[in-house]
Amino acid sequence: MHIGLINRYHQWLGLPELEAVSLGEGNTPMIHWATWDSHRIWLKLEGCNPTGSFKDRGMTVAVSQARFAGGKAVICASTGNTAASAAAYAGRAGLKAFVVIPNGQVALAKMIQASAYGATILAIEGNFDQALQAVRAVAEQESWIALVNSVNPWRLRGQETGAYEILDDLGHAPASLVLPVGNAGNISAYFHGFRRRNEGIPQLFGIQAQGADPLVQDRDLDKVTTVASAIRIGRPASAHLAKEAVKESHGQFHAVSDSQILQAHEELAHGGVFVEPASAAAYAGLKILYRRRLLPTGDVVAILTGNGLKDSQTPAMWASVEPQIVESQHLLESIGQVMNP
């Protein structure tokens, strides 16, 4: 039975007694991927969450709290995954969902998802950061609309559960943790999660995409480009928290190029792990950290934040999407050509 995160971790979440809005989130697989020298590499498959991304950890808490507080609707700005997650949990809770996206910048499957769950999708001519500014203004003015971006402290509190699960699965804190960083909420939540449990804190490595790497450059960016649309963010709302997390854990921020992201994407997929490009950025970063000997000895966990089916366009940059047409009586010949090229 899947009891959901609020019931599983209520002692750590600090929520009032409320009825949980849950879709069976969390408890995601952490698989042993490889051992590289003195490093045991673990991948935490957050794409196995109900809406296909890690956002569900925070959303179950934020939406439960919003309904408990008498909210009628939720609103968020999003590069796609927050939108899908907010839409799903609002649907489950019986609340309306409004998701605001940067026009033309969100992977199609994420918009279809949000729409299918019944959300109203509103697009602005601008980037994610401008969308976030707009929804913050609306939520400040209208108390019946709950803002469910990660600036909502309940979102971050829920996302701490990723750290709890790693501690419960490994039995101790890993030496390091590698994760993709966009709006910088998740890395901050992991830091606070490890700190709250008081069983050790891994070195936190935040990976950004070159072209959308304000934390690596240590300055806000107005123009952002990267193949990883989920983390195309120039002014991370939780930048201050993320910087503190990296500094206090003796970690670092790193940037990876689009070609490194695509290469990592393919390598993971060929190993049976299909993630979205933003998640592949974490793996690309992990490989660079390893090659530069920046990883401490011991367990390394990479957080693979979203499912590959979220973005079916990008893999077409390296995977052939056209089937090979064969006549049925020549099937074995085609197989032979692959087996013995």
Residue 86 contacts ligand AN7 per CB under 6 A: no
Candidates 51, 79, 152, 161: give the one binding ligand AN7 (CB under 6 A). Answer: 79
**CA quadruple 219, 222, 227, 228: dihedral sign:** positive
Strands 145-147 and 120-124: unpaired
Interaction between residue 186 and ligand AN7 (CB under 6 A):
yes
Residues 79, 229 contacting (CB under 8 angstroms):
yes
**Phi and psi at residue 25, to the nearest 5°:** -75, 165
CA distance 231 to 246: 18
CB nearer ligand AN7, residue 18 or residue 122:
122
Nearer to ligand AN7, 192 or 298 (CB): 192
C-alpha angle 64/145/61, rounded to 5°?
20
Q: Measured from the CB atom, is 313 or 337 closer to ligand AN7?
A: 313
Least Å distance, CB 152 to ligand AN7, is 12
Query: Is residue 58 a contact residue for ligand AN7 (CB under 6 A)?
Result: no
Q: Give whichever of 138 and 331 is closer to ligand AN7, judged by the CB atom.
A: 138
Binding residue for ligand AN7, selected from 50, 185, 308, 315, defined by CB under 6 A: 185
d(CA 53, CA 50): 8
Of 178, 181, 216, 246, the residue at the interface with ligand AN7 (CB under 6 A) is 181
Q: Does the footprint of ligand AN7 cover residue 183 (CB under 6 A)?
A: yes
Q: How does DSSP assign 289-335, residue by residue?
A: HHHTT-SPSEEEEEEE-BBGGG-SSGGGGTS--SPPP--GGGHHHHH
Coil, strand, or helix at residue 269?
helix
Q: How far is the CB of 83 from ligand AN7 (least distance, A)?
A: 6
**Least distance in Å: CB of 277 to ligand AN7?**
8
Q: Does 78 bind ligand AN7 (CB under 6 A)?
A: yes
Of 81, 89, 76, residue with least CA distance to 124: 76
| Count of residues engaged in binding ligand AN7, rule: CB under 6 A | 21
Q: Which of residues 261-300 bind ligand AN7 (CB under 6 A)?
A: 276, 278-279
Binding site for ligand AN7 (CB under 6 A): 53, 78-82, 150, 180-186, 230-231, 276, 278-279, 305-306
